[in-house]
Amino acid sequence: MIIAVPNKGRLSSPAMEMLREAGIKVESEDRKLIANTNNENIKILFARARDIPEYVYMNAAQAGITGYDIVVESGFDVDVALKLGFGKAKLVVAAPRDSGIKSLRDLEGKRVATEFENIAKKFFSEKGVNVEIIKVSGACENAPAIGVADAILDLTSTGTTLRMNGLEVVEEVLETEAVLIVNKKEKENFHVKALITALQSVINARGMVYLMMNVHESRLEEVKKVAPGLKGPTIMKVDADGMMAVHVVIHEDRLLEVVEELKRIGAKDILILPIQRLIY
C-alpha cells in the first residue's frame, strides 16, 4: 500500500507525526519521492497536498492525507475515511473593513480573488450572486489592497492574517481539517482497513488516560460511580484480604477531581498512564 502525504506546508509534519503514532515510521529522514517504512507492506509517497486527491483517485496511492478543502476543490471522487483532527481552518469570504461590503449581496458584479476557483464558482452560484472569480496561486490577502479584487475567498485559522491586512469575514464557506482519503475501489483492502483502524485508534486515545489502583472490594460501587470508564472498570482480585485491582480509562479533563475522589474513597497505589492508541 502507498500512502500519499504532503511534502511541505502546514499539514506535512502533523501528518507524519500521526502516522508515527499509528506505528508507521519512515526508515530514512530523507524526503525521497517514495520512502520505505518500518512496515514492508507500506510506502510513503511525498507529494504536493493539492495533488494527493488525484493520486488517490488514480490509485497511484491507495490512501492519502490532505486537507478537506483540497479534496472538495479537486472534484475527484475519493472516499473521505477519517477526519484527523489537525490542520483545522475555515474557508471564508472576506473584504476590506472600509469597503462597505457587509454581505454576499454587496459583492454582486464584483471581483473575488481565490485559489479555490471551483469551490468559489459553486458557492456563489448556489447563493445566486454574480461575481468575477480571479484565480490566484497561494495567499491572496493583499489582492484587495493592490486593486486585483474587491474581496477574497481564502483559508483562515485564527483570523490574525485577515486582520493584519484590514479584512473582515463576510461569510463562512466551509470548515476544513486534515482528512484521510482512500481510493473507493480499495476500501476493503486489508492494509487500507488496517490503516483506518490504526489512525482511528490514535484519534480515540487523544485526551484519555489509563488509571490503575488498588481498592477494597467494599468500596467498588463507589469507585464505579466516580470512574465508570468506557464500559465499566476492569476489576481483578489482588489478595485474600479483599483488595481488588481496578483499571479504568477516563478523560484527562476529569483527572484531578477523579483522583482526589478516589483517594477519599480509599483507593491506593494509583497509577496514571498515557494511552497511545485506543480501539473500541
| CA 33 to centroid of chain Cα atoms | 24
Question: Can you name the CATH fold of 2-87+178-204?
Answer: D-Maltodextrin-Binding Protein; domain 2 (3.40.190)
**Segments making up each domain of the chain, as ranges:** 2-87+178-204, 89-176, 207-274
Tell me which residues of the chain have a pLDDT lower than 50: none
Is 207-274 the same fold as 89-176?
no
**What does the pLDDT read at residue 30?**
63
**What does the pLDDT read at residue 52?**
98
**What does the pLDDT read at residue 85?**
97
**What does the pLDDT read at residue 32?**
76
Report the share of the chain in percent with pLDDT over 70.
Answer: 99
Helix (H) or strand (E) holding 271: strand 268-274
| CA 99 to centroid of chain Cα atoms | 35
**What does the pLDDT read at residue 126?**
96
Beta bridge partners of 174: 91
**What does the pLDDT read at residue 238?**
87
What residue type is 96 in one-letter code? P
Q: What is the CATH number of domain 207-274?
A: 3.30.70.120
**What does the pLDDT read at residue 187?**
92
**What does the pLDDT read at residue 82?**
98
CATH architecture for residues 89-176: 3-Layer(aba) Sandwich (3.40)
Write the CA distances from 43 to 40, 61, 64, integer angstroms: 8, 9, 11
**What does the pLDDT read at residue 31?**
65
**What does the pLDDT read at residue 93?**
97
